[in-house]
Structure 1
Amino acid sequence: MKLAPHLHRIGNDIVAAYLIVTDEGITVVDAGLPGHWKDLTRELDELGRSPRDIRGLILTHGDSDHIGFAERLRREYGVPVFVHEADAERARTGEKPKVATGRMRFGPTLGFFAYALRKRAVPTTYVSEVIEVHDGDVLDLPGAPSIIGMPGHSPGSIAVHSALADAVFVGDALTTRHVLTGRTGLQPAPFTDDPAEASASLDRLAGLEASWVLPGHGAPWRGSPAGVAAAVRTAAA
């Protein structure tokens, strides 16, 4: 789905990933679930491109519903996979603490897990090799993506800002559709390791200029990052 001249989304409001598209190549942000490979190749076909045009894949964090086709893209096409150093082990092994899920409603929760199974979430294919990134890095990839540390959901959660795409990709730093309750609108994401730290990290969005705030779950959001951060805090109160 084309959102803007350099910006495309694959997946849906349950699980999404994004493409920054330039003449020089493509940067992918997050890899959804393994079954999103077909969504990726379909989107590339519509663009007249192929996986060989992808110059890098950036993971906003290392959870299984964000690393789906990462290893396939790395192994079959040699695409480097970037993840924050604090989530590198999570992306390679899945090791992480158990956290409380919070409120749940049967229908949306069942729908989330059913969708995950349809997209071949089990078994998870972890990423054998990653390139570690750090807060403040600007990567030599299409769209000149910059890394903003957003710890809380996981220790190595990041946002990815691209001025060319006029967007900030926030992973699970927030959501616009809670996968366990079905509630829509700006709000904290579930399965968060440290909710207080995640809330504090929202300050990192306030200084960014972008028209799009793009979560890993939920509809794309048009609005300033600063306004989004404030709205998420209000929803959490």
Structure 2
Amino acid sequence: MSTTPSEEPTMKIAPHLHRIGNDVVAAYLIDTDEGVTVIDAGLPGHWRELRAELKAMGRTLDDVRGLVLTHGDGDHIGFAERLRRDHGVPVFVHAADAERARTGDKPPTAMGPKRLGPLLRFASYAMSKGGWRTTYLTEVTEVADGDVLDLPGAPRIIGMPGHSPGSVAIHVPVAQAVFVGDALTTRHVLTGRTGLGPAPFTDDPAQALDSLGRLAGLDATWVLPGHGAPWRGDLAAVERDARRAADSA
């Protein structure tokens, strides 16, 4: 079952679990007694929302222990280098996406289905949040499938290749959550379609769908995408519903 799409700039989703951004582009915060872990870094302009949400949580940037990227694309690394460079926060990314996070280099991908309204909304929002001035990372800490990071929430890395070679899901049991980046979407930024489905701009769409099977059986009820509303339900249904969406596109 999908939650109702939200346009709130910041929000608490559940205990330990916060979101910044909106259903167009989102990033997340895990809040525990040990501090804060940030999942993805959205766009450069989300920096202000990061600070506002930390303040609402009774936290500061000094409480952030690490930033974990689901992959290295520009709309997920927005404030990452600023957080690393100015505040000493380590940034973690799968080894296969480390170069993408440092340079922005990626192969061309087909846009696929699109509608003018959602496409313009995505482009307009990205511009409003400084998407045209992405700063790539100069230093990253590489991770691998199966790693459990020594960060608040003990995030575990689950390899999800397809959208990119180093695309991962990040499982945080204390929040009953798995963060999927662009391994799937609940709001297609080019068509406006809502519900579980494949994300656009994917390197290998067939591999991306196959990777979704790795979510089944996880101890989680929340699925948090980089684009779209948080989704709550049985993770065994995720791959099936995404494949149905792909077949109907």
Same fold (TM over 0.5): yes
Instruction: Please say if residues 16 and 30 of structure 2, whose CA atoms lie closer than 8 Å, have aligned partners that are also in contact.
Output: yes
| Identity in percent | 73
Amino acid in structure 1 at the alignment position of 2:204: D
Unaligned runs of 5+ residues in structure 2 are 1-10
Deviations 1:192-236 (A, max 9, x none): 000011011011111212110000000000112221222111211
Partner of 1:18, secondary structure, is strand
SS in structure 2 at match of 1:35: helix
For residues 150 and 189 of structure 1, what CA distance do their matches in structure 2 show?
13
Q: 2:123 aligned with 1:113, yes or no?
A: yes
Partner of 1:54: 64
SS in 1 for 2:43: coil
Normalising to structure 1: TM-score of the pair?
0.99
Kept after mapping to 1: 8 A contact 2:44/2:133:
no
1:133 aligns with 2:143: yes
Aligned to 1:13: 23
Q: Distance in 1 between matches of 2:170 and 2:234?
A: 15
Q: For each residue in 1:8-53, what CA deviation from the matched residue of structure 2 results, as whole angstroms up to 9, or x when unmatched?
A: 0000000000011011100000000000001100000111111110
Partner Cα distance (1:224, 1:33) in 2: 30
Code of the aligned partner of 1:179: V
Counterpart position of 1:39: 49
* Corresponding position of 1:175: 185
Q: For 1:213 and 1:229, how far apart are their aligned partners in 2?
A: 12
Q: Structure 1: which 4+ aligned runs deviate by more than 4 Å?
A: none
Deviations 1:52-91 (A, max 9, x none): 1000000000000000000000011100000000000000
2:97 to 84, 87, 91: 87
Q: SS at 2:102's partner residue? A: helix
Count of aligned pairs between the two proteins: 237
* Structure-1 separation of matches of 2:159 and 2:190: 26
8 Å contact kept, 2:216–2:236: yes
Question: Could you tell me which residue of structure 2 aligns to residue 30 of structure 1?
Answer: 40
Could you tell me how far apart the structure 2 residues matched to 1:232 and 1:214 are? Answer: 14
How many Å separate the matches in 2 of 1:207 and 1:229? 12
Could you list the runs of 5+ residues in structure 1 that have no partner in the other structure? Answer: none
CA distance in 2, matches of 1:235, 1:48: 40
RMSD between aligned residues = 0.6
